[in-house]
Chain A
Amino acid sequence: MALTVVSQIFPREMIPAVLPLIEDKLQHSKEIIRRKAVLALYKFHLIAPNQVQHIHIKFRKALCDRDVGVMAASLHIYFRMIKENSSGYKDLTGSFVTILKQVVGGKLPVDFNYHSVPAPWLQIQLLRILGLLGKDDQRTSELMYDVLDESLRRAELNHNVTYAILFECVHTVYSIYPKSELLEKAAKCIGRFVLSPKINLKYLGLKALTYVIQQDPTLALQHQMTIIECLDHPDPIIKRETLELLYRITNAQNITVIVQKMLEYLQQSKEEYIIVNLVGKIAELAEKYAPDNAWFIQTMNAVFSVGGDVMHPDIPNNFLRLLAEGFDDETENQQLRLYAVQSYLTLLDAENVFYPQKFLQVMSWVLGEYSYLLDEETPEEVITKLYKLLMNDSVSSETKAWLLAAVTKLTPQAHSSNIVERLIQEFTVSLDTCMRQHAFELKHLRENVELMKSLLPVDKSCEDMVVDASLSFLDGFVAEELSQGAAPYKPHHQRQEEKLSQEKVLNFEPYGLSFSSSGFTGRQSPAGISLGSDISGNSAETGLKETNSLKLEGIKKLWGKEGYLPKKEGKTGDETEVPPVPQESIIMENVDQTIIKKDQSQVLTQSKEEKEKQLLASSLFVGLGTESTINLLGKADTVSHKFRRKSKVKETKSGETTSAQNMPCSYFSSSSDVTYEDDYYLDTLQDRGDKELNKFSLNSELLDSESLTELPSVEKLSSCTLSPPSLFTDDMEGLRSPSSTAASVANEISLASSLLEETSEHMHSDLVEVCNNETISVSSYKIWKDDCLLVVWSVSNKSGLELKSADLEISSAENFKITEQPGCCLPVIETESIKTFQYSVQMEKPFTEGNLFGFINYQMMDTHSVQLEFSVNLSLLDFIRPLKISTENFGKLWLSFANDVKQNVKMSESQAALPSALKTLQQKLRLHVVEIIGNEGLLACQLLPSIPCLLHFRVHGDVLALWFRSSCSTLPDYLLYQCQKVVEGS
């Protein structure tokens, strides 16, 4: 009973405590106890596979148990393990086949029968395992052909459960390496399923057919009629399954019919999950196989109107991208777009129809971009329609923003614009700040028609715009400011650091800033401000560096992440964001003069304030400028490293004056003084106000698309600014690993010649033969070098013949990083000589044990090539190296690590004293003894390449209290297990 409980609820921490008990029970005389023990172990395997790795042998014993129940229980474990790694258990195929043969042959006790079918569930489980084992493996599959044939033949009885077995059989037959006879029989079976009058079997048949059809589409032809019948079946589930089947066989010829059927189903179904699923499929098919434009647009319209707001955001985004980027043929593009525009206009004409928000958004974007293609309808008419929509209450504010953007795009093409004026009037007093900004933006753009036309060019959605990202036009201004005594700007984080050193209270400044300012409700949009704060928080640094007349190259990485995201979020982001930027810069240039004059008069009183504003402005521009360039370029990674390093250098150089120390938040503290701020704008710089407004509206637009990604990126970015060194180290790590491997490769080359020396220098394992045949034998050994694990395979040619094109390959394993020495393919292995191949292996994540698989290919004289497979077992210990640190450093590290694991271990008699225990640990685990204080000891080690782990232990009588700490969360667990093995085992 206890064992049952164990296998149901059990915390993974307690496993080591009870594991031995359960292992004992595996030898118990009663079958039920053995069975339960196996099941308990299965549970352990489920929750913590690495802790039971060493008892795999016992599973094998359980598999060969004389009792069927125990054997059946062990199958669950094997099913799981084989699913994870089928290659490791190929040798068991034979036993599984024998077992299945016995089961099918009725060799089991009668009480296992279910409706006179011998142990059906056992059969099914075995068939599944075989299916996994035989996948893409001809040799293993050959072993099972007989037994599969047998099961197909035996399962003739007309009972549900035999159908279940048959289904599993068919599944297996089609997943293993194919054999034509079996496939034929399986296909016949499917026929029986599909044609069966029983509805459940029909369902099963369809499911099987769906699976099979991926390999052999012709099979569908045989059952055409049945499929058609099923399609009109009254049961929606059958229908759905049929659609799934059709989805698999869709091609360019039958797409129209299939999608038609799918849409019909879609219109009937109510459940959200099904809709989301089906809509995705239809959209995928439509994009892949669409026969013509009209059809494509109509299908997508249907998808949008049905799928509406529940569908995946990728679908509209993909659709828009397709429209914007188009195909190779330009005329086709135009037609497609034209058709889209026309169809949308017709849709909008219909009265009292409610469309989902997403569909409206798509419509507004398309209309805004491409309605110039229309001949008969003027932009005014389109605007009128959009306006009608805008006035509709059921439209959400997000959609309204899209609509307004579309109107903005259309305005330059329109000749008279009463509606636009009305619209502006209405929305400049809107309560929704976001809308108001859009309206203001539109208003100011309208005042300068020329500029507007240049900013909002027709059909330029995919083309890059040149933006002056470096803001060089600001340099002069800043220089002037500086000459007048303004404090040079300091990078944001530097000031942060300085401040931190003075008062710790301001620790969370960047977070505080963005949150507090987003709560700010001034005339500007809160969204705009909060983004502004983000920008200033991050790019203030970059912007001001420029103004310190340092030339900045390339694109700022800090903006890379955030800037790239909006692109994914909404394509329109690009269009609306990009154009205003140059405009601003133009205004900016004009305005600069006035600002400067103004400034000169105010220099004493307001220089600081002004400067900060300027800083903010510039930083905003930098943000936007870079952002849009990044948007357009779509990549920033190449320059990022360079930039980061550079920024660090600059940061050390930049200003020392302390007078500007409280700059970072001063803008916001001052801007929270709303009235002052506003007055200032109004009084001094009307134009500038304009510009600010534009800017904010831009920001808010950004924010629309960005609001979801905003918070994490804010945090990320602020952490960036706070700790560029950490970023730096990340980079370095990226750089280091290749360089270290390069070094090791170099080492290897030099080592290859002097192998013996090397092995004597470093600890190494004995030579173990991993595989051999009559001509060659492959042995391997490991060299535990200080910086990596070197695995050496030596291939010796035992025959008297030369071997040609010998090639040793190691297949990559998920936990290891393997670097091979170049030139592993040797043209010739001479008679009775030995060649060695070396690989340096690094562990990517902690793991108790893993296998490295590989094979060797060679060709003998005049014969075909031969392949030999082998594997080498690598354990965690191979990657543990002593970490030589002082006690002080140990203390520091100890406090800095978050992951700790404690465990008491009973020591064996022989070493029940601290020194001897230490010695074993030192020798077997290669730990470094830092210090011994009384009955306590400190040990340190590291997992290659550089994950440290610290161990503190104390001896009480014969109990050893171990306490691990590491920066890696899983490492302590694994190490603990190793320690336990060493301490208990000896």
Chain B
Amino acid sequence: MIQFFLMVNKQGQTRLSKYYEHVEINKRTLLETEVIRSCLSRSNEQCSFIEFKDFKLIYRQYATLFIVVGVNDTENEMTIYEFIHNFVEVLDEYFSRVSELDIMFNLDKVHIILDEMVLNGCIVETNKKRILAPLLILDKMSES
């Protein structure tokens, strides 16, 4: 089960965070800094999975942006690893060549996409068209 989903840049600024298991607000920042520190300390040759306290971190780096997912030990790491890529592909398709700025200024949309894909800590949708369908409808409505 996915416990949290984080997007953090190299400077350690959190761009997006979503928790599927309740964590106290003030503990979140602490957790996030620890998480990003442990991710940054790893080189390319090392594997993308980290055992962190009682859960596992799976991270992928896209340019300056890290996407870190915390899961409990029942989850298959590689699944999540690929899921992150899937998520980025979806973002890429929606924003056409996504960048950190896109995410910063369209946080609501990123959230909608993420909510379509992950629910209660489970991956519920991976079909790109279907993920984007509701969002496109919303866009159409706001245009007209």
Interface residues of A (CB under 8 A from B): 1, 4, 7-8, 32, 35, 39, 42-43, 46, 69, 72-73, 76, 111-112, 114, 119-122, 124, 160-161, 163-164, 167-168, 171, 199-204, 207, 234-235, 237-238, 240, 273-274
Contacts and interface: CB of A to CB of B under 8 A. Distances in A.
Contacts of A237: 46-47, 49-51
Contacts, number: 101
B120 A164 contact: no
B40 interface: no
Contacts of B45: 199, 234-235
A168 B79 contact: yes
Contacts of B24: none
Contacts of B124: 39, 72-73, 76
B81 interface: yes
A203 B127 CA distance: 28
Contacts of A168: 76, 79
A168 B85 CA distance: 19
Interface in B123-144: 123-130, 133-134
B78 A160 contact: yes
B130 A32 contact: yes
A200 B49 contact: yes
B61 interface: no
A167 B76 contact: yes
Given A1-B134, A235-B42, A235-B47, 17 more contacts: A42-B119, A43-B119, A111-B127, A114-B82, A120-B82, A121-B79, A121-B126, A163-B78, A171-B76, A199-B45, A199-B47, A199-B48, A200-B47, A200-B49, A204-B78, A234-B45, A238-B47
Given A1-B134, A32-B134, A203-B77, A112 B47 contact: no
Interface string B97-124: 0000000000000000001100110111
| Prevailing SS type, chain B contact patch | mixed
Nearest to A124: B79
B86 interface: yes
B115 A4 contact: yes
A121 B83 contact: yes
Interface of B: 42, 45-51, 53-54, 76-79, 81-83, 85-86, 115-116, 119-120, 122-130, 133-134
9 contacts: A4-B115, A7-B120, A32-B134, A42-B120, A120-B79, A160-B85, A164-B76, A164-B79, A202-B47
| Prevailing SS type, chain A contact patch | helix
A204 B82 CA distance: 13
Nearest to B49: A203
A7 B119 contact: yes
A827 to B, nearest CB: 48
Contacts of B48: 199-200
Given A1-B134, A235-B45, A46 B82 contact: no
A171 B45 CA distance: 26
B87 to A, nearest CB: 11
Nearest to B86: A114
Contacts of B53: 273
B68 to A, nearest CB: 14
B37 to A, nearest CB: 12
B82 A39 contact: no
Contact of B78 (A164, A235, A240, A274): A164
A552 to B, nearest CB: 50
B46 A111 contact: no
B92 to A, nearest CB: 14
Most-contacted residue by chain B among A121, A122, A199 (CB, 10 A): A121
B81 A111 contact: no
A292 to B, nearest CB: 33
Contacts of B130: 32, 69, 111
Nearest to B112: A4
A242 to B, nearest CB: 12
A69 B122 CA distance: 14
A43 B120 contact: yes
A242 B120 CA distance: 32
A32 B133 contact: yes
Contacts of A234: 45-46
Nearest to A119: B126
A76 B50 CA distance: 26
Contacts of A171: 76
A453 B83 CA distance: 72
Contact of A46 (B115, B120, B128): B120
A711 B48 CA distance: 47
Contacts of B86: 114
A274 B38 CA distance: 14
B78 A167 contact: yes
Contacts of B46: 199, 234-235, 237-238
A975 B122 CA distance: 32
Nearest to A168: B76
B113 to A, nearest CB: 12
Contact of B51 (A4, A35, A72, A240): A240
A804 to B, nearest CB: 46
Contacts of B76: 124, 164, 167-168, 171
Nearest to B34: A271
Contacts of A161: 78-79, 82
A199 B45 CA distance: 7
Nearest to A120: B82
A111 B128 contact: yes
A7 B120 CA distance: 8
B117 to A, nearest CB: 10
A39 B127 contact: no
A161 B77 CA distance: 11
A32 B129 CA distance: 12
A42 B130 CA distance: 19
A18 to B, nearest CB: 17
Contacts of A120: 79, 82, 126
A164 B81 contact: yes
B34 to A, nearest CB: 10
A122 B83 CA distance: 12
Contacts of B83: 121
A160 B119 contact: no
